[in-house]
Amino acid sequence: MGDVAEKGLVCPYHGWRFGGDAQCNFIPAHPGGTPPAAARVRPYPAVERNGYIWVARQDTSVEPPSLPAGVTPVRSMHMPVSGERLAGFWTRACLHATGRFSRVESSCPETALFQSYVEGSGSILHGKWQSAGLGVDYVGIVQPTHGGTCMLHLAAQEPLSAEARLGLNRALVALRHEISRSTACEPKWGMNHECV
Amino acid sequence: MIRLYDYILSAEGYKARLLMSMLGVSYQPVKVDVHPGRMHREPEFLAINPLGTLPVLEDGDFRLHDAQAILCFLAARYDVSRRWLPVEPEAFSRVMMWLGFAGREMAPLLRLRMADIQAAPVSGRSVVEAECRRALGVLEDHVYEGELCGRRWLVEEHPTVADVAAFPGVALMADCGLALEDYPALWRWAHAFKRLPGFIVMPGVLPPRLADALAA
Amino acid sequence: MNVCDDPVALNDWYVVAYVDELGLGKSEQTQLLGEELELMRERDGRFRCLWHKRDGTAEPLEHIRQRYGFVWVSLGRPTRDILTIAEFDDGEPRRFIHRGRIGVPSSAQRVIENFFDLSHFSFVHTGTLGGYDAAEVPPYRVEYREDGRELWAVGCSFFQPKASAAAGLGTQVYYDYRIASPCIAIIYKDSLVRPGKKDLIGLFVQPCGEEHCTVHSFARVFDETNSDEHILHFYHEIFAQDRMILVHQRPRKLPVHPRQEVPAASDASSVAYRRWLDRSGLQFGLERNLT
C-alpha cells in the first residue's frame, strides 16, 4: 500500500516515511522531531536475479536458486491452488489446442529459505512446452502467497519469439481454466448469468 | 446542469464521477440514502428508476440509468475528441463488449463489496468469490496480452469508457477481501489509470502520488 | 475461542442492532463474541434474543435492553449499566443521524483505536479532517475516569479543512474522545454551528468474531442547513476511508504486547488504550503474542 518517495517508502496511514535501512526517518505528526529508533519495520533480505526479485524470510548467506543466464520472464499468474496441487495438475492437462507441458519436477532445498509470506515451500518446475512446431524450455517458479494459493512465475530458459511467448501464455491460461474447473467451488458456466 | 443521483460509496456511481471529471463536465449530485435508509427501493426513487439502481443521470429532460449507458452518453455528448467512445465499428463494438463485461461479469464483485460494507449476510460466499476471481482472471489475461502487443488500455492505445467501467471493481476489490496483488497486470493498468488527467478517488481508493504530496 | 474463558468480554453490554432495522415480527441471525444469536422483534415491538449454543440448546438472553435507539445484549452478567450519554437528554436541538451498520474484517478494538487516532487525518481524510500541509498533531492529555473504567483523550485539536457537513471554511477544531469500554467510543467535537457546544459521534462496535465486527454508529449534531442524506454521505465517506486502512491491518486482532508499541507522542491515546485493554484481562480480539 505504500508509495515510493525520494527518501524512502511512505505509509498511507500516518505518512511515516521509511528509508532503505527500514528506519523511519520522518513522522508528519511531529515534523520538527527525530523519529525514535524503535520506529522501524522488519526488513527481509532481497536480491534481484534473472529479472526476478527473490525474498528470504530470514538472514541467509545462501544464494537464490541459479537459473540459466538467458532466462526470460513470461508471465506471473495467480493460481487458485497450492504449489503442491499445482505441480500435480501440471502435466495432467490435455491441452491439444495450446500445446503440452512436459515436466521434470525439481524441489530445490535451498528454496525452502526463499518462502514468501505464509506457508508451504516454494518449488521450481521445469521442462519443455511444445505446440505445433513451437518448443520452449521453461522454468516455473512457485511462490506460495495466501490462503493455500500461489503465484506461478513462468519464464523461458532463453529469449523467445513473440509468437512463442503468446503461445506459452495461452497454454498457461488454459491450464488455469482447467484447474478452476477441477476445484470444487467453481460454478458451472452460466450460473451467474441472471439474464439467461 | 447535469444531475446525478448517487451514493458516495457506490462503485457504479464512481464510474460516472470519474468520466465527468476526466471530461471536465460539471454536475449536481443528488444524494440518495442507500444505507441505512434504503431509499433507492422506495416508491419515490423507483418512479425515477424502476430498477432502483444508482447512478441515474439527468441532463435537461433526458434521464438515463445504468452506469455503462451513462458512460456512453457522456462520451457521445461531451467528448469532442471522440476517443473515449470510438466511432470505428470494430473498436466501438469491442468497447461495448467490455462495457458488458463490466456491467455483468463484475457485478458479483461489486455486490459482494457492498454486502461486506453493509454487514449483510452473504450465502455461498466461496461460490461468489470464485465467480469474482474468474472474471478478474479474464480481465487480467486480456490486459496482459495487451501489454505483449504494446497496448496499455483495454481496447485502444488510449483509454476508453471500457477502462472507466472496469476500474472501480479492480480498485476496490480489497473492500471484499480480494487481493489486487494476485493480478499484477491489473495492478499496472490501475497504476496507469490513476495517473490520467482528471482522475479522482473515492473512499477505498488510495490517491496516486502520496509521496509527491508530502514532498510539496 | 471459548467465550466462557473471557469473563471480561462476556459480562459487557454490546449493541447488536438499531431498533428500526428490525420490523415487527421479524428476526435476524447475528454473531456476538463468536456465538450465534437470533434477535427477534415481537408484534408489540419488544425484542427477544436467543443464544444458539454449541450443544444445540437455545437460551433466551436475560440481559437485553433498548437504549439510545439501539438494542443491547449481554451474554453474561454485566456488573454495570449501559453507559450514560447525557447529550441524549439535555434538551439541545441536535439532530440524530443513524449512520447505518458497517461490517469490518478486523477486531472491534482495531476499529476503536482507529476512531480516536488523529495522526491519520491528513492522509486518510485529506481535504476534510486534515490536509497534507498541516499534519502536525498538537499535544493532548490522556485521562482515566469513572474509577479507571473509562479512558479519555482530552484537549485534542487539529486544523480541519471541512470538519463536518455543516462546516464552511477550514478551522482549528477541538475534540475530546471518550472510550467507555473496549468496544465503545464517542467523540465530543466542537460544533461549528453552535460555538461552545459539542457535536457527538458515537461507535458501538459489535465484536462478531475476533477478526470481524459490525460497527453501529450515530451522530448527534447541530446542523440547520443540510439534509440527512448530505450529512450521512459525509460520514460514510470518512468511515469508508478508515475501512480501507482497517481491511489491510495485520494482525486483524489488536496487538497489546508492550514491545509492539512505538512511542510517538501523538500516539499517546493508542498506547494508553492498548495498556488499558491489557490490564483489563480482556482476551477476545486482542493479540497478546509478539508478532
Q: What is the pLDDT of residues A15-64, one digit of tens each?
A: 999 998 999 999 999 998 899 888 888 888 888 888 898 888 888 778 88
Which chain C residues are Cβ-neighbours of B174 within 8 angstroms? 244, 247-248
Where residue C252 sits, what CATH number does that domain have?
3.90.380.10
Domain boundary among C74, C101, C130: C74
Which chain A residues are Cβ-neighbours of B126 within 8 angstroms? 185
**Does C80 reside within a domain?**
no
Q: Are residues C119 and C250 in the same domain?
A: yes
Identify residue C268 by its one-letter amino acid code.
A
3-state secondary structure of B27: strand
CB C157 within 8 A of CB C88: no
Q: Are residues C164 and C194 in the same domain?
A: yes
Helix (H) or strand (E) holding C124: helix C121-124
Architecture of the domain defined by B89-194: Up-down Bundle (1.20)
Which chain C residues are Cβ-neighbours of A18 within 8 angstroms? none
**A13 contacts C264? CB cut-off 8 A:** no
Q: C159 to chain A, minimum CA–CA distance in Å?
A: 12
Q: Are residues C61 and C164 in the same domain?
A: no
How confident is the model at residue B213, as a pLDDT?
Answer: 67
Task: Report cis status (omega within 30 of 0) of the bond before B36.
Answer: yes
Query: What's the number of domains chain C is made of?
Result: 2
| Average pLDDT for chain C | 94
Q: Which one of A125-134, C147-156, C282-291 scores highest in mean pLDDT?
A: C147-156
How confident is the model at residue A126, as a pLDDT?
Answer: 77
Q: What pTM value is reported for the model?
A: 0.93
Domain boundary among C22, C41, C74: C74
Which among B126, B183, B206 has CB closest to A12? B206
Helix (H) or strand (E) holding A143: strand A134-144
For A131-186, where are the alpha helices, taking DSSP H only?
A: 162-182
Instruction: Identify the DSSP state of A35.
Output: P
How confident is the model at residue A110, as a pLDDT?
Answer: 35
Within an 8 Å CB–CB cutoff, is residue B127 touching chain A?
A: yes
- Set of cell numbers at residue A176: 488455469
**Does C87 reside within a domain?**
no
Where residue C67 sits, what CATH number does that domain have?
2.20.25.680
Q: How many A/C residue pairs have CB atoms within 8 Å?
A: 47
Read off φ and ψ for residue A117, nearest 5 degrees: 50, -75
B43: which residues sit within 8 A by CB, 6+ positions away? none
Report residue A108's pLDDT band, with 50, 70 and 90 as the boundaries: very low
How confident is the model at residue B144, as a pLDDT?
Answer: 96
Instruction: Identify the DSSP state of C90.
Output: S
How confident is the model at residue A94, as a pLDDT?
Answer: 45
Q: What is the pLDDT of residues B105-155, one digit of tens each?
A: 999 999 999 999 999 999 999 999 999 999 999 999 999 999 999 999 999
How confident is the model at residue A97, as a pLDDT?
Answer: 56
**B148 contacts A165? CB cut-off 8 A:** yes
Domain boundary among C42, C74, C106: C74
Q: How far is CA C132 from the centre of its chain?
A: 26
CA distance B12 to B32: 13
**What is the extent of the structural domain holding C39?**
3-74
CB C233 within 8 A of CB B31: yes
**B121 contacts C214? CB cut-off 8 A:** no
Q: Are residues C21 and C124 in the same domain?
A: no
Instruction: Specify the CATH superfamily of domain B2-78.
Output: Glutaredoxin (3.40.30.10)
Q: What is the pLDDT of residues A112-152, one digit of tens each?
A: 333 332 233 457 887 888 887 888 888 888 888 888 899 99
3-state helix, strand, coil in chain B (%, to 5): 55, 10, 35
Q: C262 to chain A, minimum CA–CA distance in Å?
A: 6
CB B171 within 8 A of CB B190: yes
B92: which residues sit within 8 A by CB, 6+ positions away? B85, B86
How confident is the model at residue A186, as a pLDDT?
Answer: 47
Helix (H) or strand (E) holding C241: helix C228-246
- Between helix B67-78 and helix B161-171 the angle, nearest 10°, is 140
Q: Are residues C104 and C231 in the same domain?
A: yes
Within an 8 Å CB–CB cutoff, is residue B215 touching chain A?
A: yes
Architecture of the domain defined by A72-182: 2-Layer Sandwich (3.30)
How confident is the model at residue A62, as a pLDDT?
Answer: 80
Mean pLDDT confidence for B66-82: 97
Cell match 469490518: residue?
C104
Q: What ranges do the domains of chain B cover?
A: 2-78, 89-194
- Stretch(es) of chain A classified as CATH 3.30.310: 72-182
